[in-house]
Structures are given as structure tokens and as C-alpha cells.
């Protein structure tokens, strides 16, 4: 009995010593977390801009830091206690090394956010090591980041060695910390406190503890389902097609158990009223512009119009000012625009060789006698674009490997270039496309110059144009200074606009110009200039221009990348009798040509390769658990409407149910349809 009492007493003493030692080091960790956040706020203020509500930003930043720290304490102490039972010194050293590693990771996450203005989450795991290496190499690391890294790492180590032993804590305070941490986790206090709710999306992202965001997202990535809704529950009472304003657009799915997206082709031809009749099948050129957002494009852009040529072209075109990309990064653009395809788990392209058989604008037009081509100044293997193009039997895949000698690559300030600049890309296209070809042409051109690190050829010329443009837009000195934080981004936008001007000027001299339809859109909105709200990430223009147009129009209605291919195919079928299956798998319902603001669509939007958290339906946008109402300029305001939020969640869950069937191996279309219409025979 005495031995048991003695053992219990020893364990109690050890527990007390462990709690006190843990609390000392942990208090230093909290100070380091605060220091790292203050560095992040200062660094972002210098590189970008200091928030207007700086006091509120500091409060929410430190609060989120405290919440992250509290959440970790009870878990870390359990590990620390086990180590402490074996060796007090080993436990202290291990915990100190852990804190140093956490500081290093936090600095890396800060660097990523400062460059991209988006917190890094599980999207890290959606890219191949080669893609990650190329992105990091091209973006580089600034001298400020290196100096900040060395200084903060030195402070961290010095504080752990010199400050922690000097902190005086009694056992009551040490155990109180653990009790508070346990109660905090058990009550789910972090979720109850909620988010900052600033009007600016930049400020909302800035105050997030980047380590907390990354580790939570990583946990959900590797252990999915813990917080997911059961999308197969019987409580779901309606399909996602039924939550929009116009139920006549609802798809009738023919075999949802085996082909979750297969339905009758009911997309109307809405383009013919705008075009002159022409007996020859039209050539189609789709220009996908890296980062082209409405925020800085065309009249009414809230950041100012930095695309004068695109603006002038829009006035001679069919122009959708409230258009949306389907993804927040380039990975989504090809399958969304060319195939109106679901996202699967990490984007359709990430399926690689496992992409299920499908049809697209590329394969269907090739089946109808078109010559298909793809042009990109970078490496087409990035994001598995090449695999997608090959599976759709694209006749020509032209990327950086196809450029002959004499073409100029983008600068490589950090030792790695993204590829050939946009002017050279368009020159390569014009020289290699036969203007007297007897077969109609479908060409897809993806630009790259407006990509981080925004190093362009003739940079001084376009930096000067940037200054002139700000003066022309009537900016005062204070606003000019704010915009100069993004001078490289704006200079690259002006460069792209000029490259497009040259492209169209050259095209007008070609004999095939008069029989060509051009589409211009952005793959997503450039995130490296602060965004105003969540929908801003997807807000891009769509321009359809052609000498064949007999009238122009500006549409305020909402459509997305999903709607492009179904609409083009409906137009070509109506005018040129192109053939296609009666059963299709398009998610898109077709472009809405209403001049007034409305949204008839119900679509998911995928921000990163691991985040499908956005859904639009009617005039509403669901982002996670937050509901927003869209306005006529496609801005949005947060609203509290539980009934509407539940309606959108139900609609979103129904899409996710169908999308999950693709992840688990279901088919896009029946093999009989694929084999008949696909130009890839025998596969």
C-alpha cells in the first residue's frame, strides 16, 4: 500500500513538474506566434498596403493567434507528458525543436500569402512535386523575406534558451492553462467566436492564423469525412437543379446511378440571332488569359480600367460583364470551358491517365471535321493539361518545346522562366496556323505573361504606361502610391492588352479572319492584387467577337465557363449541322443573353484543388457556411437567411453527391456514345 502511495506521489510530482515546464516553454511559443503575426502584418503592409481598419485587424489577428495556441495546448501536453516520463530534458528539447519548426513553417506560409494573397491550405497536396518546384522557382524569395527569416529564427531560438527558464509559474497557473485549453476544445469555442467579417477579403485573409488554416485544412484532407455532411442521407428533399429561378432549365438525368451527369441535350442556340448567316463552318479561336479579372478590365472595373484594347473590343462584341470562372486557379479552365466537366476530387485534370472517358468541344468538333490545336508559352504538362488534350485527340499541342529558335522567353528574375511571352505566343500561333486551310479550325490559346512573378519583356515601357494610365484614370497621389505596390501586376496587364491588340491587328490581314469567332476570357481573377470579396476570385469577362456579328450586346446576366461549350455546339449544330449525341454530360445550361442582371444557373465553383466550398444559385452565393447576396455589378454583401442558406446547402450537397460518384469510379458518358463520337478510336 505504501509503495502504491509513493508511486502515485511520484507521478503527481512528475505531472506537476511537466505542467510547469510545459507552460513555461508554451508561453514563449505564444509570444513567438504574436511576433510572427506582427511581422506578417508589417511585411504585408509594406509590400501591399496597410489595412484601413488597422486596429481591428491587429485585434482579430492576435485573437486568432490566441485561439490557435489554446487549441493546441491540451494535445501537445499529452505528448509532452509521455516524453517527460522518460526524460525531462528530452521533453523540453523536443518541444523547443517543435516550436522552431512551427516558426519556420509559419514564415513559409507568410511568404506564400504575401505573394498570392490567399492562405495556403490543402491545395499544396493537389500539385505534383514538379509543379510545386516550378512555381516556387519562378516566384522566388525576396531579400526581405530572407532577412526576416534569419532575424525571427534567431529571436525564436534565443527566447527558448534564455527566456523560458526565467518565466515563473506556479502549478495552479500551469494546470489552469490545461483546463482552459480542454474546455476550449470541448466546447468548440473557436467555431462559436466565428470570423472577423471585414468588408475586404484581403483583411479577412490577413487576420487568419496561417498555421491554423494550413493544419486544419491538412487534417481534413488526410482524414476526410470527420466534418462532412452525409450527402447520401434521406433528408435531402430536392435536387440542385431545382433551386434556381427558372426551373425549365432543370436537367432530366437518364441514369443517375451509373452516369450521374448524363442528361438530354436541351441547350438552346442563343448566338444565331447575333450572327450573319454564313455557309462555311466558322473557325473558332478561344483565348484564355491568365489572371484576367473584371476588377481591372473594361468600363465599371472597380480598380480602374487597365485594358484599353479589350475594352474597345468589348464594345464591338457580345460581352458578359458578370461572368464567372469555374476555378480560382488555372487547373479548372480547360475541363470547364472545353468539356463542362465536373471537378472530381482535386480538379478533373488531376485524374491524369485515370480521367473517365468524356466528350468535349475539342473531340466533338474534330469528329465534325475540324482541325484542333492548343497553344501555350509554358509547359503543357503543368496541371496535366497535356493529358487532357491528348485524351481529346487534339491535333496539335504547341507549348514551349515547339517554339523554334529566335523567339524570346519571359525574363527569369529568380532563375526560372514560365516560358515564352504573350507577344511571342501570338506570333508563333499566327505563323503556324494556315490561313488558307480547307478544314475549319478550333484553336485554344492560353497566355502566361500575367502570372507571378509578373516579370515581362519591355518592363520599363509598360511601367511607364502604368504611370500614364493612372494619370489618365484621374488617380490622386495617395491612390497612385497605393497602386504602385502592384506595379508589376498592372504593367503585365497592360502588356497583355497590348499583345492582344497586336494579335488582332495581324489577324485582320489574314484571309480567314472574316470567318472566325473569337472568345476571350480569364482563367480566373489575378489573386495577387487584393480582392474585394469572395466572388471576386471568379469574376472574369467573357467577350465573343467576330466580323460575322451583325449586332453587339452587353449582357448583365450571370453565366460561367461551364456554359461556353454547350452554347457553341448548339450554335454550330443549328447553322452548320454539326453532329453530336442527344445525351450529354454538360454541367452547363448554356449562356444567358439577358441584358439585365439575373442568374438562372446553379453551379459550384472550385477555389483551389482541394476546396469546393462555393456555390451560386440565383442571386445568392454560398461560401462555406457564409451566405452572400449578389448585386447587379456582381459585388456581394453578407446576409443572414437560414432558409435560403439551407436551400443552397441542399443544392450544393446534391452536386457533391454526383461529383463524388465520379471520384469513386462512375462514368461520365456511356461507352457506346464515347466510341461513336470520339476521334480516339478503339480507346
Q: Pick the range with the lowest mean pLDDT from 159-168, 211-220, 295-304, 429-438.
A: 159-168
Looking at residue 272, the DSSP 8-state letter turns out to be G
Average pLDDT of the residues of the chain: 87
Helix 143-158 vs helix 88-116: crossing angle, to nearest 10: 160
Domain assignment present for residue 256? The answer is: no
pLDDT digits (tens, 9 = 90+) for 519-531: 999 999 999 999 9
Given a cut of 50, whether residue 364 has pLDDT beyond it is yes
State in Å, rounded, how far the first CA of the chain is from the last one: 77
Per-residue pLDDT, 452 = 87
Task: pLDDT band for 153, please (50, 70, 90 cuts).
Answer: confident
Q: Which one is predicted more confidently, 445 or 241?
A: 445
Per-residue pLDDT, 170 = 65
Per-residue pLDDT, 271 = 97
Per-residue pLDDT, 246 = 47
Given a cut of 70, whether residue 534 has pLDDT beyond it is yes
Query: Most distant CA pair in the chain: distance in Å?
Result: 103
Domain assignment present for residue 178? The answer is: yes
**Highest-scoring range by mean pLDDT, 92-106, 250-264, 463-477:** 463-477
Same domain, 392 and 475: yes
Cell reading at 81: 507528458
* Distance between CA atoms of residues 271 and 282, nearest Å: 13
Task: pLDDT band for 319, please (50, 70, 90 cuts).
Answer: very high
Q: In this structure, are residues 449 and 489 in contact, taking their beta carbons and an 8 Å threshold? A: no
Domain assignment present for residue 560? The answer is: yes
Per-residue pLDDT, 163 = 67
Same domain, 66 and 139: yes
Task: pLDDT band for 660, please (50, 70, 90 cuts).
Answer: very high
Same domain, 411 and 541: yes
Tell me which residue range forms the domain holding 545. Answer: 240-247+282-676
Given a cut of 60, whether residue 245 has pLDDT beyond it is no
Given a cut of 60, whether residue 8 has pLDDT beyond it is no
pLDDT digits (tens, 9 = 90+) for 281-310: 999 999 999 999 999 999 999 999 999 999
Same domain, 347 and 202: no
Per-residue pLDDT, 416 = 75
Number of neighbouring beta carbons within 10 Å of residue 681:
7
* % residues pLDDT > 70 (the chain): 89
- Look at the chain and report how many structural domains it folds into: 2
Domain assignment present for residue 277? The answer is: no
Per-residue pLDDT, averaged over 494-498, amounts to: 97
Kind and range of the H or E run holding 60: helix 54-86
Q: Pick the range with the lowest mean pLDDT from 139-148, 476-485, 549-558.
A: 139-148
Same domain, 634 and 511: yes
pLDDT digits (tens, 9 = 90+) for 590-644: 999 999 999 999 999 999 888 899 999 999 999 988 999 999 999 999 999 999 9
Domain assignment present for residue 422? The answer is: yes
Cα 657 vs. chain centroid, distance in angstroms? Answer: 22
Per-residue pLDDT, averaged over 444-457, amounts to: 93
Same domain, 203 and 286: no
Helix (H, G, I), strand (E, B) or coil at 611: strand
Asked if omega into 453 is within 30° of 0 (cis), the reply is: yes
In this structure, the chain runs to a length of 683
* Distance between CA atoms of residues 359 and 667, nearest Å: 12
**Highest-scoring range by mean pLDDT, 24-33, 155-164, 233-242:** 24-33
**What CATH number is associated with residue 425?**
3.40.720.10
Same domain, 199 and 288: no
Same domain, 163 and 288: no
Predicted TM-score of the model (pTM): 0.85
Q: What is 178-202 written as a DSSP string?
A: HHHHHHHHHHTHHHHH-----SSHH
Same domain, 311 and 209: no
Same domain, 314 and 215: no
Domain assignment present for residue 683? The answer is: no
Same domain, 290 and 438: yes
Same domain, 347 and 203: no
Per-residue pLDDT, averaged over 361-381, amounts to: 96
Domain assignment present for residue 473? The answer is: yes
Domain assignment present for residue 519? The answer is: yes
Amino acid at each position: 500500500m505504501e509503495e502504491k502511495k509513493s508511486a502515485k506521489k511520484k507521478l503527481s510530482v512528475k505531472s506537476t513538474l511537466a505542467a510547469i515546464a510545459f507552460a513555461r516553454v508554451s508561453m514563449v511559443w505564444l509570444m513567438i506566434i504574436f511576433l510572427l503575426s506582427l511581422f506578417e502584418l508589417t511585411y504585408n503592409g509594406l509590400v501591399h498596403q496597410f489595412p484601413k481598419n488597422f486596429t481591428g485587424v491587429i485585434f482579430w489577428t492576435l485573437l486568432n493567434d490566441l485561439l490557435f495556441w489554446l487549441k493546441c495546448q491540451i494535445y501537445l501536453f499529452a505528448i509532452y507528458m509521455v516524453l517527460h516520463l522518460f526524460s525531462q530534458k528530452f521533453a523540453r528539447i523536443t518541444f523547443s525543436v517543435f516550436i522552431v519548426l512551427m516558426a519556420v513553417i509559419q514564415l513559409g506560409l507568410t511568404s506564400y500569402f504575401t505573394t498570392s494573397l490567399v492562405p495556403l491550405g490543402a491545395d499544396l497536396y493537389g500539385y505534383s512535386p514538379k509543379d510545386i518546384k516550378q512555381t516556387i522557382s519562378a516566384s522566388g524569395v525576396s531579400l526581405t523575406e530572407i532577412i526576416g527569416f534569419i532575424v525571427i529564427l534567431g529571436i525564436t531560438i534565443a527566447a527558448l534558451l534564455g527566456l523560458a527558464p526565467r518565466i515563473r509559474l506556479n502549478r495552479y497557473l500551469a494546470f489552469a492553462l490545461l483546463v482552459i485549453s480542454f474546455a476550449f476544445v470541448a466546447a468548440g469555442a473557436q467555431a462559436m467566436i466565428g470570423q472577423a467579417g471585414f468588408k475586404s477579403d484581403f483583411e479577412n485573409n490577413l487576420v487568419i492564423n496561417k498555421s491554423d488554416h494550413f493544419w486544419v485544412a491538412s487534417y481534413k484532407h488526410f482524414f476526410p469525412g470527420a466534418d462532412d455532411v452525409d450527402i447520401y442521407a434521406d433528408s435531402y428533399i430536392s435536387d440542385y437543379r431545382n433551386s434556381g429561378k427558372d426551373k425549365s432549365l432543370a436537367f432530366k438525368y437518364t441514369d443517375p446511378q451509373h452516369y450521374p451527369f448524363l442528361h438530354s441535350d436541351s441547350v438552346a442556340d442563343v448566338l444565331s440571332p447575333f450572327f450573319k448567316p454564313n455557309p462555311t463552318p466558322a473557325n473558332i479561336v478561344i483565348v484564355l488569359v491568365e489572371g484576367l479579372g473584371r476588377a481591372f478590365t473594361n468600363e465599371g472595373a472597380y480598380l480602374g480600367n487597365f485594358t484599353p484594347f479589350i475594352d474597345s473590343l468589348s464594345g464591338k462584341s457580345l460581352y458578359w460583364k458578370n461572368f464567372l470562372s469555374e476555378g480560382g486557379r488555372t487547373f479548372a479552365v480547360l475541363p470547364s470551358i472545353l468539356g463542362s466537366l465536373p471537378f472530381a476530387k482535386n480538379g478533373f485534370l488531376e485524374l491524369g491517365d485515370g480521367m473517365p472517358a468524356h466528350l468535349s468541344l475539342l473531340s466533338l468538333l474534330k469528329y465534325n471535321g475540324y482541325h484542333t490545336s492548343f497553344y501555350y508559352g509554358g509547359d503543357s504538362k503543368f496541371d496535366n493539361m497535356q493529358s487532357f488534350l491528348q485524351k481529346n485527340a487534339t491535333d496539335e499541342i504547341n507549348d514551349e518545346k515547339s517554339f523554334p529558335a529566335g523567339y524570346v522567353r519571359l525574363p527569369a528574375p529568380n532563375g526560372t522562366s514560365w516560358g515564352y511571352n504573350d507577344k511571342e505566343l501570338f506570333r508563333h500561333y499566327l505563323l503556324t496556323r494556315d490561313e488558307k486551310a480547307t478544314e475549319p479550325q478550333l484553336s485554344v490559346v492560353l497566355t502566361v505573361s500575367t502570372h507571378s512573378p509578373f516579370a515581362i519583356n519591355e518592363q520599363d515601357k509598360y511601367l511607364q504606361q502604368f504611370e500614364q494610365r493612372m494619370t489618365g484614370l484621374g488617380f490622386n497621389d495617395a491612390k497612385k502610391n497605393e497602386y504602385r505596390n502592384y506595379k508589376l501586376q498592372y504593367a503585365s496587364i497592360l502588356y497583355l492588352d497590348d499583345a492582344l491588340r497586336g494579335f488582332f491587328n495581324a489577324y485582320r490581314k489574314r484571309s480567314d479572319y472574316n470567318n472566325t469567332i473569337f472568345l476571350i476570357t480569364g482563367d480566373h481573377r489575378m489573386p495577387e492584387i487584393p480582392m474585394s470579396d469572395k466572388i471576386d476570385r471568379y469574376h472574369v469577362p467573357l467577350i465573343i467577337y467576330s466580323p460575322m456579328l451583325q449586332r453587339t450586346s452587353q449582357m448583365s446576366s450571370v453565366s460561367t465557363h461551364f456554359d461556353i461549350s454547350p452554347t457553341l455546339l448548339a450554335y454550330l449544330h443549328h447553322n452548320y449541322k454539326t453532329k453530336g449525341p442527344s445525351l450529354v454530360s454538360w454541367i452547363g445550361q448554356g449562356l444567358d443573353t439577358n441584358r439585365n442582371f439575373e442568374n438562372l444557373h446553379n453551379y459550384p465553383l472550385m477555389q483551389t484543388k482541394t476546396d469546393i466550398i462555393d456555390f451560386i444559385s440565383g442571386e445568392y452565393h454560398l461560401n462555406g457556411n457564409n451566405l452572400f447576396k449578389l448585386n447587379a455589378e456582381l459585388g456581394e454583401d453578407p446576409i443572414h437567411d437560414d432558409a435560403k442558406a439551407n436551400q443552397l446547402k441542399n443544392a450544393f450537397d446534391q452536386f457533391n453527391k454526383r461529383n463524388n460518384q465520379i471520384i469513386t469510379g462512375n462514368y461520365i458518358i456511356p461507352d457506346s456514345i464515347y466510341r461513336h463520337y470520339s476521334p480516339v478510336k478503339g480507346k
